[in-house]
């Protein structure tokens, strides 16, 4: 059985339907990506999965439990972590406090301390600046913090929304290589990206979203070689 199952999900803002009945699954251990242009409904989908938005219809099953109607603050304790679009670190808290909040629901203080050390090992710059307000970090460093913070809950599924947005090419590469490291370590990831090239080269499966619908699905490899995807998202004629 899939770790995450989304069936006929519809989400609306008032009368405007942003997600119009999509279905997909994520298996444990795989990386699945949703690609598509701005306004395709990718972020709306993630925000609904993590409980910040309520679906109009549809069923979300995660690890065998139905997520519909469960509050956002409870979903994270079930093992679903969400690193939101725009990073959304807590700017006036220190880096270390941001990481501690990522482990807010965990009771195992020793293991939390160890995970914070691991995060500093993965991202040394965060360790160097642990007492500094997170708002003083650069965009790429904030992205590292957002990812490290999401990992602090030891999630079964990590959802990353546009981790490369607004980053320099070097920083983007660093973030992408971190994601592929996480994949190698067996983390299950649902990745939303506008950088289709990078996302598809990492992903086991991908889905193309257009105006609230999934219009095309396949393995990352298949999509990368699909003519319409190449034209629309990879900038080729």
Partner 1 sequence: MQDLPDQLANGLALGALYGLIAIGYTMVYGIVQLINFAHGEIFMIGGFGALTAYLWLPDGTGLAVALPLMILLAVVCAVLVAIGAERFAYRPLRGGPRLSPLITAIGLSLALQQAVWAFYPDAKKARPFPQLGGSDFDLGFVTLSREDLFIFVSAPVCMLALGLFVAKTRTGRAMQATSQDPDTAKLMGVNTDRIIVMAFAIGAAFAAVAAIAQGFKTGEVNFRMGFIAGLKAFTAAVLGGIGNIYGAMVGGLVLGVAEALATAYIGDIPGLEQFGGGSWKDVWAFILLILVLLVRPQGILGERLADRA
Q: How far is the CB of 163 from partner 1 (least distance, A)?
A: 15
Cα–Cα distance between 228 and 236 in angstroms, integer? 10
- From candidates 26, 31, 76, 232, binder to partner 1 by CB under 8 A: 76
End-to-end Cα separation, the chain, in angstroms: 40
Q: Tell me whether residue 72 or residue 111 sits nearer to partner 1 (CB atom).
A: 72
**3-class SS of residue 13:** strand
Sheet holding 65-66, edge to edge: 16-26, 4-13, 57-62, 65-66
The contacts of residue 103 (CB under 8 Å, 6+ apart) are 112, 115, 116, 152, 153
* Interface map 82-121 toward partner 1 (x if CB under 8 A): x-x---x-xxxx---x--xxx-xx----------------
Main-chain dihedrals φ then ψ at residue 56, nearest 5 degrees:
-75, -50
By rule CB under 8 A, what count of residues binds partner 1?
26
**3-class SS of residue 145:** helix
Q: How far is the CB of 110 from partner 1 (least distance, A)?
A: 15
Q: How far is the CB of 154 from partner 1 (least distance, A)?
A: 12
Chain positions 45 to 74 lying near partner 1, rule: CB under 8 A, are: 50-52, 71-74
Q: Tell me whether residue 145 or residue 223 sits nearer to partner 1 (CB atom).
A: 145
Contacts with partner 1 by CB under 8 A lie at: 50-52, 71-74, 76-77, 81-82, 84, 88, 90-93, 97, 100-102, 104-105, 135, 149, 153
């Amino acid at each position: 059985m899939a770790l995450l199952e989304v069936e006929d999900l519809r989400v609306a803002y008032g009368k405007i339907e942003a997600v119009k009945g999509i279905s997909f699954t994520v298996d444990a251990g795989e990386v699945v990506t949703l690609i598509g242009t701005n306004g395709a409904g990718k972020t709306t989908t993630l925000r609904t999965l993590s409980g910040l938005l309520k679906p109009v219809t549809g069923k979300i099953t995660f690890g065998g439990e139905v997520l519909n109607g469960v509050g956002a603050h409870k979903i994270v304790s079930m093992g679903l972590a969400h690193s939101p679009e725009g990073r959304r670190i807590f700017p006036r808290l220190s880096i270390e406090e941001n990481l501690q909040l990522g482990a807010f629901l965990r009771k195992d203080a020793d293991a939390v301390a160890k995970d914070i050390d691991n995060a500093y090992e993965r991202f040394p710059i965060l360790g160097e600046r642990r007492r500094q307000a997170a708002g003083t970090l650069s965009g790429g460093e904030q992205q590292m913090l957002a990812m490290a913070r999401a990992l602090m809950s030891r999630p079964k599924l990590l959802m990353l929304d546009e981790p490369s947005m607004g980053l320099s090419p070097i920083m983007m590469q660093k973030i992408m290589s971190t994601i592929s490291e996480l994949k190698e370590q067996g983390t299950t990831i649902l990745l939303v990206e506008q950088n289709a090239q990078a996302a598809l080269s990492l992903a086991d499966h991908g889905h193309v979203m257009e105006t609230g619908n999934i219009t095309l699905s396949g393995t990352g490899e298949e999509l990368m070689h699909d003519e319409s995807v190449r034209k629309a998202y990879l900038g080729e004629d």
